[in-house]
Amino acid sequence: MREIERPFEIVYEGRTVKVAEHELKNMRVFYIDFAGWKKPLTITVALNRFDEKFWTSVPEGRQKEAEELGKLIAGYIRNKRKESNA
């Protein structure tokens, strides 16, 4: 079973934002709390018609932020795994 990430922080547009992972409807969901300077955002990884993964906001409408924050979250998780394997 995949372990759900503990809540963590990343830096986005020069500010620290809080990220909490959840599993809903069998999908990995990240809730991003901007501490008031933006509306909270929920993003997930979906598959396009070519079976390629892409980050998307849920609900639709904040795709640019979803992609930017998704990359940062993926980077955070990747680095954390590298460090724990080192």
Q: Which residues bind another protein (CB under 8 A)?
A: 1, 3-4, 6-9, 18, 20, 22-25, 27, 29, 31, 33, 40, 42, 44, 46-49, 54, 56-61, 63, 66
A 10 A CB-CB count for 48 gives 9
Helices (H) and strands (E) in the chain, counts: 1, 5
Tokens of 14: 């020069």
54 contacts 48 by C-beta, under 8 angstroms: yes
